[in-house]
Structure formats: structure tokens, C-alpha cells
């Protein structure tokens, strides 16, 4: 793989940006010498890095791309809006259109607000819950990611104990532990915030156990706490109407971002009527928060999702990929498990707690231009087709064979 | 005797001297094992007999290369004290950049890991970082040479450093690309994002565990002095 330009850029970046590249796309989180540092352009389900290497991508902008990179209908709609402008003193008409579109699709939603990132609105949503209940405590699942704010971020620095003194945790799927938190903190829990299933990084995904969501919902109702769904990562890839439908429960507030704008920065929180008033008492704004381009992209993206039954489509594509990869592994005498929903699978090998095997597998696939991330769930998009999935499986077969031949 | 919170840095410094003395003895002429003991009255003894420092003097001895030990123990065990002082001088020479060798790096790293282990074991904030981790082994390697030292996190959540090849498989392997990179990283820390991306270090295995260890090491670097050469 050519990487001269990527390395040069990284050297420049190191001087101008702490660490060169930061956050979940920082090289440290992946395979630094095997993945490129910088992208040049992308189309459909592939991208080209700054050295001209072409990649078949299974991360979809870490989930932000659902319909494929540079989707013509979305780009066309955005271009039309761009002629009128992007950010104004007041929101554009598109904000109302987009809010109405969300309410049409999400059956429990009576209102919607918008921001730019998932974190903006997960944090805002728990404040709405606190305002509504006048209670201090928030409950989350241990290891769950809800954004970059101090109450929940996975980093290590820049926090004080008080940042998390009002956040309680329980193990995902452990209803008894959740119930015990409610009992021990009667009348003090404002909300339980959860992702639709447990998709921690560096660990296999865990689906909700039978009865888990019903149990969570019951506990929240019984104790007068809000159920906040963080659908930032999953939204659009499990059900067009929100991931709660896929798992069969009803939240009070739900937050979306990632796939919502198909690559344009936007997040949304929707809520039930009961929480409209408290939502108005929790201040919300931002520099470009009413960006009409992102809202246009989101509206078109929702339209495409509905028209093409995209959630079902990406689940089906994911199934083909996951089945193919597990079979390839099995034929090579390896045991690969694709966990989580098939549209956003997390790969793990048996007996690979230290992750050496999965790192090696992803490195070998990267040598053939397949972008499989070793430590984060992957994302399927609607631009993936039979050809791209078959190619990925073919490369994986070779990689599995090499893994069986080579001593690591 | 466990160090009180205000003595953790002093204890870490003393343990790092001990770690270096053990590592040096593995590859060079034997030297006294400078095992430290915490003494009442904010004093620490270094080595078998004869060398006792006040906490503050110990840090000064490391940082400035000169500090007065308590005279009583020195006069009672002059030979022992002299041997220990010579050993301290030898350890200080490890920090001279013109003498980088895999053996010296191994001793330097062992010294650093001993410090880190003290914080991991006794500093509440540091301990809390690792409350979900146990039974882990980190292997620090030099490319083209092999392992320099290991850090072990036992099932009871206790850290220990070792220079003896362990029987277990490591959970994480951190490989320095060159002796210079290793020297720099051990003494001054490194740009943990940039070093990985530019290939100065290679990280394999449980990355989140190494992120925590790296964070702790950066916290420790600023709190435990190293000799200035």
C-alpha cells in the first residue's frame, strides 16, 4: 500500500493538531500502519485515500453513511438548498419539514429538536429528564458510549469525580441490578439512557436478552423515570421508524444522528408530548445548529430510507456478509463470531480476548483493500451490493487461510 | 508498610531504584539489591544497610545527584553504604543518553514500571482506572532485540514489574522501533497518538488497557523525578 502522502500529511498534522488525528478515528484505535490516515474522496461503498489507494469500506464513515457516499439524490437536494444558503439568522422552512417527517415515521414522537452531533442531544436529553422529574440521577449501562461529555465519555483525562457522581451504572441485560438501583435510589432517578443493544468498542456486541426492554420500560414507568434511547449509532440501520421498533419497546425520548444526514452533520431528539414543556426549559442552541444543508440531506435520507426499505435491505446485506465470513472462518479452521445486528456487526474470534487474531485478520484484509475495523462494530450501507460483499468474503477467505498457515 | 498518599511519589522513586538495581544485576556485574523500606518519620532506607534518606532528600538525591543520607547508619555500616552509593551512581548513568543500549533500556524501563506499579497499587485515583482489569501482562519490546521488561496486573488488581520472562501470553505488546525511541518514551513520555501512527511504536492486543497504562505513566512522569545527566 502506498502511504507517502498520508505519512507526509500526518507529519504536518502532528505539528498543527495534537496527536495528528484524534477521537475514535485516531490511528491508535485501529491499525496505524495498515490503514490510511487521510481520505481523498468516496463514492458508493468505497473510498480513495490520499495516496490513491482504493478501499472497499465497511465502516461507512463510522456509521454516518447509510445510502452510500456521495449519493446523487441527496447531493442534488443539498445543491439546490445551497443555492439559497445554509445558515441564516432564522431556521429555514426545511426545519419544519424535517421535524414533521420524523414525527410521521416515529410513532411515539410528538416533537423534534435538532443539533449537530449525537453528544449534543444525549446530554440535552438527560437534562430534559432532570428538568421534567426534578431528580438528579441518571442510569446507564456499564461500558456504553453516549458521547464525548464528561458524564459519559470513554477517555481518561479532564474529568473530576463530580462529573460522574450523579451517574449510576449497571451491567447490560442485568435487570435485577437495574431494579436494585431503582430500589436504592427511590425517587432520585431522572432517566435511564440506553442504546438499543450493547455495542461497546473492543468487545463483542450484546443483544437485549428476552424481556430486557420490557423490564426496563416497566421499571422506568413504575418509578416515574424517563427512558431515553440513544439511537445515534443504530438509527436507520434496524428500522426506518427507530430501533425501538426493532426491539419492541417505547422510549420517552430518542436521539438520532450518524445515518440521519448521510454524511451531513445533524442530530435530532424526538420526544413524547409529556416532555414538550420541560424540553423548552432546557436551553439548546449552537453555532450552525439550524444548518439547512444538513437538514435537507436528512430529509432526503429519510425519504430514501422509506422508499427503499433501507433498514431491511442493509440487514439482509449484513446477513450475507456475516454468514459468508463465518463460513470462510470455519472452513479455515477458525472460529469467527459476528455479533450484534447484521447491519452493524462486530467481529470476534473465539479465544482471542487479547484481540491479536482479529487485528491480524483485519491487517491481512487491509492489504487487499478491504476496510474492516478490528475494534469497532462495522457498518453496512445500502450501496453495498452482491459484488462488494462477495469480494470482501473472497478476501476474508484468503486471509483466514493465511492465518491458519502462519504462526502469529 | 503501605505508603501514605503523601509518600507515594517517594516510595515510587525508591522502588524504581530497586527495579533498576535488579535489572542491572541480570546483565552486568552484580550490584547490591537496593530494596527500599519505608521507615517512620518520613524516612526511607535504600539497600541492605547503611543508607537512609529523609523522603525529601531521596528525591533530591535522584534529581540533583547529591543529597545527604543520615550519617548514623552510614557510620555504622560504612562499607555497605559505600557499595549502595556506588550502585546509585551506576543507576544514574543509565540516564545518560550517550549510553543507550538494550540492557540499559531494560533497566530504565524496569525502573519506570516500578514507579508506575506503586501508583497503580497505592494511589486511589490511579487504582480506580484499573478497577475493571485483572490478570493482564504487558510486554514491552524493542524491535530487533526482544522483550525489555513486563508489567503484570494480577487478578487481585496488584501491579508488579518484572525483568524475568513470564510463562503467560501477554495481553498487550508494545514494541519500540529503535533504542532512541524507547529511551525518549521511557524518560519523557511520548506523543501516544503520533508515535503509533508514524510507526515509532507498534501496539498489538488490548489497546484500551495500554491506553490506561499510558495515561497512568504520563501522570507518574510528572510526579517522580529522574536523574538529570
Pairing of strands A189-194, A167-170: unpaired
Q: Which residue stretches of A17-113 are H helix?
A: 72-84, 93-105
Look at the domain A4-69+310-407 and name its fold: 3.90.1150
Chain pair A-B, CB pairs under 8 angstroms: 64
Q: Is A220 helix (H, G, I), strand (E, B) or coil?
A: helix
Beta bridge partners of A165: none
Asked if residue B54 lies in contact with residue B42, where contact means CB atoms within 8 angstroms, the answer is yes
Asked whether the beta carbons of residue A156 and residue B215 sit closer than 8 angstroms, the reply is: yes
Whole-angstrom distance, CA of residue A34 vs CA of residue A244? 37
Chain A: residue whose CA lies nearest to B170:
A354
Whole-angstrom distance, CA of residue A384 vs CA of residue A319? 12
Assess B168–A contact: CB distance below 8 Å, yes or no.
no
Place of cell 435538532: A114
Q: Which of A14, A21, A354 sits opposite B206 (nearest CB)?
A: A354
A353 neighbourhood in chain B, CB within 8 Å = 171, 206
Radius of gyration over every alpha carbon of chain B, rounded to an integer in angstroms? 17
B163-194 per-position pLDDT tens digit: 999 999 999 999 999 999 999 999 988 888 88
Asked if the model's pLDDT at residue B145 lies above 50, the reply is: yes
Beta bridge partners of B141: B147, B175
Angle of helix A386-405 relative to helix A356-367, nearest 10 degrees, comes to: 120
Superfamily of domain B99-221: SCP2 sterol-binding domain (3.30.1050.10)
Asked if the model's pLDDT at residue B127 lies above 80, the reply is: yes
Locate the domains of chain B by residue range: 5-98, 99-221
Q: Give the number of other Cβ atoms within 10 Å of residue A59's Cβ.
A: 21
Q: Is A36 helix (H, G, I), strand (E, B) or coil?
A: coil
Predicted pLDDT at B229: 62
Locate the domains of chain A by residue range: 4-69+310-407, 72-308
Predicted pLDDT at A30: 80
List the grid coordinates of B134. Answer: 485483572
Give exposure, A335-361, as e/b (b: 16+ Cβ within 10 Å). Answer: ebbbbbbbbbbbbbbeebbbbbbbbbb
B21-78 per-position pLDDT tens digit: 999 999 888 889 999 999 999 999 999 888 999 999 999 888 887 788 989 999 998 9
Give the number of C-alpha atoms closer than 13 A to the C-alpha of residue A34, restricted to the C-beta side: 22
Chain B: residue whose CA lies nearest to A17:
B194
Q: Mean pLDDT over residues B2-22, rounded? A: 95
CA distance B221 to chain A (A): 15
CA A22 distance to own-chain centroid: 17
Chain A: residue whose CA lies nearest to B125:
A161
Chain A: residue whose CA lies nearest to B210:
A28
Whole-angstrom distance, CA of residue A15 vs CA of residue A177? 47
List the grid coordinates of B89. Answer: 551512581
**From the first residue on, what is the mean pLDDT of each consecutive set of 10 residues in chain A (408 residues)?**
92 94 82 92 98 98 98 98 97 98 98 98 98 98 97 93 96 98 98 97 95 98 98 98 98 98 98 98 95 98 97 98 98 96 97 94 97 96 98 98 77
SS (H, E, C) B141-169: EECCCEEEEEEEECCCCCEEEECCCCCCC
Give exposure, B182-207, as e/b (b: 16+ Cβ within 10 Å). Answer: bbbbbbebbebbbbbbbebbbbbbbb
Predicted pLDDT at B182: 96
B191 neighbourhood in chain A, CB within 8 Å = 14, 19
Assess B134–A contact: CB distance below 8 Å, yes or no.
no
Asked if the model's pLDDT at residue B202 lies above 80, the reply is: yes
Element (DSSP H or E) covering residue A327: helix A310-331
A60-95 per-position pLDDT tens digit: 999 999 999 999 999 999 999 999 999 999 999 999
CA distance A362 to chain B (A): 12
Which CATH class name applies to A72-308? alpha beta
Amino acid at each position: 500500500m502506498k502511504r507517502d502522502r498520508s505519512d507526509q500529511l500526518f507529519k504536518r498534522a502532528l505539528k498543527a493538531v495534537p496527536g495528528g488525528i484524534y477521537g475514535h478515528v485516531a490511528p491508535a484505535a485501529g491499525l496505524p500502519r495498515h490503514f490510511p490516515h487521510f481520505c481523498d474522496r468516496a463514492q458508493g461503498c468505497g473510498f480513495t485515500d490520499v495516496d490513491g489507494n482504493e478501499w472497499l469500506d465497511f465502516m461507512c464513515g463510522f456509521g454516518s453513511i447509510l445510502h452510500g457516499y456521495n449519493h446523487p439524490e441527496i447531493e442534488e437536494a443539498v445543491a439546490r438548498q445551497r443555492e439559497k444558503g445554509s445558515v441564516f439568522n432564522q431556521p429555514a422552512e426545511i426545519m419544519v419539514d424535517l421535524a414533521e417527517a420524523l414525527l410521521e415515521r416515529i410513532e411515539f414522537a410528538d416533537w423534534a429538536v435538532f443539533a449537530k452531533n449525537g453528544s449534543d442531544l444525549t446530554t440535552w436529553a438527560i437534562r430534559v429528564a432532570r428538568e421534567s422529574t426534578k431528580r438528579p440521577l441518571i442510569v446507564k449501562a456499564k461500558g456504553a458510549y453516549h458521547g464525548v461529555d464528561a458524564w459519559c465519555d470513554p477517555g481518561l483525562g479532564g474529568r473530576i469525580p463530580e462529573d460522574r457522581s450523579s451517574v449510576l451504572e449497571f451491567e447490560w441485560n442485568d435487570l435485577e441490578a437495574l431494579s436494585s438501583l431503582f430500589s436504592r435510589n427511590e425517587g432520585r432517578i431522572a432517566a435511564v439512557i440506553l442504546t438499543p443493544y450493547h455495542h461497546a468498542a473492543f468487545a463483542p456486541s450484546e443483544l437485549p436478552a428476552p424481556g430486557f426492554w420490557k423490564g426496563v420500560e416497566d421499571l422506568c414507568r413504575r418509578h416515574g423515570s424517563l427512558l431515553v434511547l440513544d439511537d445515534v449509532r443504530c438509527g436507520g440501520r434496524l428500522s426506518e421508524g427507530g430501533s425501538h421498533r426493532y426491539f419492541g419497546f417505547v422510549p420517552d425520548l430518542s436521539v438520532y444522528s450518524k445515518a440521519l444526514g448521510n454524511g451531513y452533520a445533524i442530530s435530532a431528539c424526538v420526544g413524547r408530548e409529556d416532555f414538550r414543556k420541560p424540553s423548552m426549559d432546557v436551553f439548546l442552541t449552537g453555532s450552525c445548529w439550524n444548518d439547512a444543508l444538513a437538514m435537507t440531506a436528512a430529509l432526503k435520507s429519510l425519504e430514501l430510507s422509506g422508499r427503499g426499505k433501507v433498514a431491511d435491505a442493509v440487514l439482509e446485506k449484513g446477513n450475507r456478509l456475516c454468514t459468508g465470513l463465518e463460513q470462510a472462518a470455519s472452513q479455515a479452521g477458525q472460529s469467527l463470531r459476528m455479533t450484534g445486528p447484521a447491519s452493524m456487526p462486530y467481529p470476534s474470534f473465539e479465544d482471542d480476548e487479547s484481540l491479536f487474531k482479529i487485528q491480524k485478520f483485519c491487517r491481512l484484509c487491509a492489504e487487499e483493500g478491504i476496510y474492516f475495523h478490528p475494534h469497532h462494530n462495522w457498518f453496512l450501507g445500502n450501496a453495498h451490493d452482491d459484488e462488494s460483499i462477495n469480494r470482501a468474503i473472497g478476501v476474508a477467505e484468503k486471509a483466514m487461510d493465511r492465518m491458519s498457515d502462519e504462526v502469529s | 508498610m503501605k505508603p501514605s498518599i503523601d509518600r507515594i511519589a517517594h516510595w515510587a522513586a525508591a522502588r524504581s531504584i530497586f527495579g533498576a538495581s535488579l535489572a542491572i544485576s541480570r546483565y552486568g556485574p552484580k550490584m547490591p539489591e537496593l530494596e527500599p523500606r519505608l521507615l517512620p518519620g518520613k524516612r526511607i532506607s535504600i539497600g541492605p544497610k547503611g543508607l537512609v534518606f529523609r523522603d525529601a532528600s531521596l528525591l533530591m538525591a535522584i534529581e540533583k545527584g547529591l543529597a545527604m543520607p543520615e550519617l548514623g547508619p552510614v557510620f555504622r555500616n560504612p562499607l555497605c553504604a559505600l557499595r549502595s552509593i556506588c550502585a546509585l551512581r551506576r543507576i544514574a548513568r543509565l540516564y545518560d543518553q550517550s549510553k543507550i543500549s538494550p540492557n540499559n533500556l531494560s533497566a530504565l524501563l524496569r525502573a519506570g514500571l516500578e514507579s508506575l506499579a506503586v501508583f497503580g497499587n497505592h494511589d486511589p485515583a490511579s487504582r480506580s482506572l484499573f478497577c475493571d482489569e485483572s490478570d493482564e501482562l504487558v510486554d514491552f519490546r524493542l524491535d530487533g532485540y526482544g522483550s525489555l521488561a513486563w508489567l503484570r496486573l494480577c487478578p487481585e488488581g496488584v501491579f508488579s514489574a518484572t525483568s524475568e520472562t513470564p510463562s503467560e501470553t501477554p495481553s498487550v505488546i508494545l514494541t519500540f522501533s529503535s533504542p532512541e525511541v524507547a529511551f525518549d518514551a521511557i524518560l519523557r513520555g511520548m506523543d501516544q497518538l503520533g508515535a503509533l501512527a508514524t510507526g515509532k511504536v507498534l501496539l498489538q492486543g488490548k489497546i484500551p488497557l495500554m491506553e490506561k497504562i499510558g495515561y497512568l505513566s504520563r501522570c507518574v512522569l510528572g510526579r517522580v523525578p529522574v536523574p538529570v545527566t
